[in-house]
Copies of this chain bind each other. A is one copy, B any other.
Amino acid sequence: MHIVKTVESLCRSVKKIKSQNKTIGFVPTMGALHDGHCSLIRKSRRENDIVVISIFVNPSQFGPKEDFKAYPRPEKKDILLAKKEKVDIIFYPSEKVMYPTGFLTNVHVDEITDRLCGATRPGHFRGVTTVVGKLLNIVTPDALYLGQKDAQQVVVLKRMIADLNFPVAVKVCPIIREPDGLAMSSRNKYLTPRQREGATVLFKSLKDARKRALAGEYNAANILRRMRTAIRKHTPGKIDYIVCVDAHSLIPLKQLKGRVMVVLAVKFGQTRLIDNIIFYI
């Protein structure tokens, strides 16, 4: 496994790989790797000759009051895990490599970045699309592996990739959960024991919403009211949003129809957790 820290060095490796007609699968991460990331790496491993992951805690996708500094950076553990998962190359750039002096460009997706997480995290998705645009140009992968946990990120990046004609296939992998159902996240380790226990209500309420919807409750307001009540009853968490949306467009639905996503963000102290569930009506 190679750990590559500069763009030039990675481009040389990629050129060699391409000259051998090998395919590249790419998993962009912010490190603090967990089983969610591993599921992406494994799928990429199965489907490609070469697996590249990036580890970069991207400052431009954090708001000024968010957890950029506190975000976990367990470098050695991440490298060991990547090795175990048979990653070929870790692209591990510094901030200066990604945003050198004089950097002025950004990639922005309109409309679908304003709602849900975008409403409380202005600039977040601009940071994500810009850094992923850069990474796609550096790694030039055949396939990009994304986790469904970051549901809005998936929709936004798919839109960017289609709109800007990036020549890459997008593979979305299912949410990986802890035994008690909590969606895996590098931020779960911020939770106190009480918050951690309460956080299990998120997935329970999503499953309950799906069950009710599939049983014929198509009124979004009724579904959401029940979810809010359960979350408030069982946790000290503060609801940022819970919405039923069209899973393609992220447009809120009053009546559930088609490919529905119920998606939520709840804050436990300073820790903001997200989760979602998709089903068909």
Q: Which residue of B lies closest to A135 (CB)?
A: B165
Interface centre among A7, A105, A110 (most CB of B within 10 A): A105
> Are the C-beta atoms of A137 and B166 separated by less than 8 Å?
yes
Instruction: State which of A145-153, A156-164, A188-196 sits at the interface with chain B.
Output: A156-164
Please give, as numbers and ranges, the residues of chain B lying within 8 Å of A107 by CB-CB distance. 105-108, 133, 164
A112 CB within 8 Å of chain B: yes
> Are the C-beta atoms of B105 and A137 separated by less than 8 Å?
no
Please give, as numbers and ranges, the residues of chain B lying within 8 Å of A108 by CB-CB distance. 105-108
Q: Which residue of B lies closest to A15 (CB)?
A: B167
Give chain A's interface residues, CB within 8 Å of chain B: 7, 11, 19, 21, 102-112, 129-130, 133-134, 137-138, 140, 159-160, 163-167
A58–B81 Cα gap in the complex (Å)?
Answer: 47
> Are the C-beta atoms of B109 and A138 separated by less than 8 Å?
no
Work out how many copies of this chain go into the complex. 2
In-complex Cβ contact of A105 among B102, B104, B159 (8 A):
B159
Please give, as numbers and ranges, the residues of chain B lying within 8 Å of A134 by CB-CB distance. 163-165
Given contacts A105-B110, A107-B164, A137-B166, 12 further A-B contacts (CB under 8 A): A103-B163, A104-B111, A104-B112, A104-B163, A105-B129, A105-B164, A106-B107, A106-B108, A107-B108, A108-B108, A134-B163, A137-B165
A137–B7 Cα gap in the complex (Å)?
Answer: 18
> Are the C-beta atoms of B11 and A159 separated by less than 8 Å?
no
In-complex Cβ contact of A137 among B102, B109, B159, B167 (8 A):
B167
Cβ distance A58 to chain B, nearest Cβ, rounded Å = 14
Please give, as numbers and ranges, the residues of chain B lying within 8 Å of A7 by CB-CB distance. 165
In-complex Cβ contact of A167 among B104, B140, B165 (8 A):
B140
A103–B158 Cα gap in the complex (Å)?
Answer: 11
A108–B133 Cα gap in the complex (Å)?
Answer: 12
* 20 pairs, CB–CB < 8 Å, chain A vs chain B: A19-B21, A103-B163, A104-B110, A104-B111, A105-B110, A105-B160, A105-B163, A106-B107, A106-B108, A106-B110, A107-B164, A108-B108, A130-B164, A133-B164, A134-B163, A134-B165, A137-B164, A137-B167, A138-B165, A138-B167
